[in-house]
Structure 1
Amino acid sequence: MTTITTDEGKFNLPEHSNLLETLEKLGYAVEYQCRNGYCGSCRIKLLSGCVSYAQLPMAFLQPDEILPCCCQAQTDLHIKCRFRQPEN
């Protein structure tokens, strides 16, 4: 199991779990469109850790960015991601 650290806290990412789906379930605000690495809408900052991709994503990424829709965590990760703002 991988530990994911954000500005809001920490959680465990079960093995073979999709990071984007887990972030959504936990209430984090992550934009997305294609969910397969093509558009790059879901890119987030990777502050520390290492990920891999089954297929290289088509979206352009900076060295400190990952696509949670299609990456696999190889180590514990520290990412820049915030909770959704409550709706009024």
Structure 2
Amino acid sequence: MKIYSVHLTQTNLTLAHSNRTSLLETLEANNVRHEYQCRSGYCGSCRTKIKKGKVSYKETPLAFVNSDEILLCCCQLESDVELEL
């Protein structure tokens, strides 16, 4: 499975992510806390700005997401990303 680089601009931290778990779970495993509620793309609480990179979704999330935002709970990385976190 491919390993992606996740760079957090506000903390200058770079993490590895494999899409085996959600990006939210990878952040939590590395003691990076972020707001969340539903963990399924329904509420939008985990909405985060993406500065670089590409993500996709297995199922279209119900929460509204701008073109420069992702949902940490349900996105799948398609490339290395840079997040405003």
Are 2:1 and 1:5 aligned? Answer: no
**Deviating runs (4+, > 2 A) in structure 1?**
14-17
| Number of residue pairs aligned between Structure 1 and Structure 2 | 81
Report matched runs for 1:56-71 at 5 Å.
Answer: 56-71=60-75
Question: 1:24, 1:16 → 2: CA distance?
Answer: 14
Larger Rg: 1
Question: 1:77, 1:65 → 2: CA distance?
Answer: 12
User: Is the contact between residue 51 and residue 83 of structure 2 (CA under 8 Å) also seen in structure 1?
Assistant: yes
Q: What is the one-letter code of the residue matched to 1:14?
A: S
Map of 2:24 onto structure 1: 20
Query: Post-superposition shift, 1:17?
Result: 2.7
Map of 1:84 onto structure 2: none
Gapped runs of 5+ residues in structure 1? Answer: 82-88
Map of 2:77 onto structure 1: 73
Return the TM-score normalized by structure 1. Answer: 0.87
